[in-house]
Amino acid sequence: MKLKLKKQDIKIIKEKVDSKEVLSIQERLKEVDKETNPEVCSNKFSFDLEEVRNSLHFLETGKIETIISVLSTFEVKENKRLHKKVSLYKENIDDWNIRAKAAERSYLDPQYRHNTLEKPKFSKEISNGQLPRLYRILDTLFSIFDQIGEVVTDDLCIKINDDNVSFEMIESTDKMNHEITKAEAQQLVKYNDEVKRHSYASKPHIKKYDYIPNSIFRIKLSNGKYIKDTKENKLEDMLPDIVLLFYQCYFEIRTNREAQERAQRIREEQEQKARILHERKDQEKNKTREFLNLLSDYRSANEIREFVGVLKKIGQTDDDSIRWMLNKAEWIEVSIDDELLGKREHHKTDKEKEEFLKVERYYW
């Protein structure tokens, strides 16, 4: 970018150089650029401060300022050591490629090795020739999030607070007519010969199109939103936009999670209320049943006493029988201990109490 320096700017540069202060013209040009340009620029990224703040309005102010600070000062260094998670990821891909190559050998080949490994993340969508670029993009992205204070998980997601933001790295393809290979041509010749001989033949399945990777990347987040290479800018130049996309996706994930948690809490509260109400109903039913059973015993005891009174009047029973019947009335009514029957259980139903009084058969 060409910059027009004002006379006072040139004068300042000259004064500083004359006074042997270490300030290169390139550094001064950057200072002048920052003063004259409303955008904040680093060696790699440029972004509008207000746009960032507006896009991240759902975050705390301190967090927003941290993101701005990291994006405005972050520098992409060539030939730096890869981020530890990217380095491990690269090793996994290398290992998988070795296993896949060994698995292509003949089963009888001593170097044959069955590949039981799952193909590493992203590698299904990225051609081998573009893997170095993938590593660089991931390294820059993960390093930025590290500096912001987020966590890169082992499965290469970005953990922001309590939520994981997953994403895909995809290389676009060009659809082209399939060129028949030598092996496919031989299969067709064999098939046609068999058809001419009127024998049964299964037509070989040959695809119509090839999908050729074209080096155009896009990064797609779990909410379906994505950013891709354009003629003007590559993903490497749009890291600030990508970072904002991650936080916006995080906000959607957090909002959905909190809504689900609220709904779950409401369901649990409703279930708890229903459970308490059910327990109260059961307690009230039990209490009522026990009261009715007690009332039934009270009536039975009174009936016994009335019956004893009648017997006394007509003089048809002895004193021991009278005493026994009155004791049973007391036992039925107030649950005193009976020498043989124990205590009366008022809470039981009439049927249960009748079962208790049934004569048991013993086999001696």
- Give the orientation angle of helix 319-334 with respect to helix 239-314, to 10 degrees: 160
In a domain, 83, yes or no: yes
In a domain, 364, yes or no: no
Give tens-digit pLDDT for 238-293: 999 999 999 999 999 999 999 999 999 999 999 999 999 999 988 898 888 888 88
Looking at the 3D structure of the chain, how many domains does it have?
Answer: 3
DSSP line for 274-313:
HHHHHHHHHHHHHHHHHHHHHHHHHHHHHHHHHHHHHHHH
- The reply to whether 92 and 129 lie within a common domain is yes
In a domain, 89, yes or no: yes
- The reply to whether 309 and 222 lie within a common domain is no
In a domain, 126, yes or no: yes
Q: SS3 for 142?
A: helix
In a domain, 217, yes or no: yes
- pLDDT at res. 115: 64
- The reply to whether 248 and 318 lie within a common domain is no
Start-to-end CA span in the chain (Å) = 114
Q: Do residues 226 and 127 make contact, with C-beta atoms less than 8 angstroms apart? A: no
Q: What is the mean pLDDT of residues 106-135?
A: 81
- The reply to whether 75 and 223 lie within a common domain is yes
- pLDDT at res. 256: 97
Final residue in a domain of this structure, among 194, 225, 256: 256
- The reply to whether 311 and 294 lie within a common domain is yes
Q: Which of 4-18, 54-68, 326-340 has the lowest mean pLDDT?
A: 4-18
* 162 pLDDT above the threshold of 80: yes
Q: What is the mean pLDDT of residues 101-126?
A: 74
- The reply to whether 226 and 303 lie within a common domain is no
d(CA 311, CA 305): 10
- The reply to whether 229 and 341 lie within a common domain is no
Final residue in a domain of this structure, among 256, 281, 303: 256
- pLDDT at res. 271: 96
The residue ranges of DSSP E strands in the chain, in sequence order, are 40-41, 46-47, 151-152, 158-160, 163-165, 167-177, 209-221, 226-228
- The reply to whether 233 and 342 lie within a common domain is no
Residue 17 pLDDT level (bands cut at 50, 70, 90): very low
In a domain, 316, yes or no: yes
Give tens-digit pLDDT for 278-336: 999 888 988 888 888 888 888 888 999 999 999 888 887 888 988 898 888 888 776 66
d(CA 132, CA 242): 19
In a domain, 361, yes or no: no
- The reply to whether 246 and 315 lie within a common domain is no
Distance of CA 88 to the CA centre of its chain: 23
Higher-confidence position of 143 and 347: 143
- pLDDT at res. 362: 60
- The reply to whether 251 and 306 lie within a common domain is no
- pLDDT at res. 85: 97
Domain that holds residue 275: 266-356
Give tens-digit pLDDT for 201-214: 788 888 889 999 99
- The reply to whether 295 and 349 lie within a common domain is yes
In a domain, 201, yes or no: yes
Q: What is the DSSP letter of 347?
A: T
Final residue in a domain of this structure, among 256, 285, 304: 256
- The reply to whether 14 and 143 lie within a common domain is no
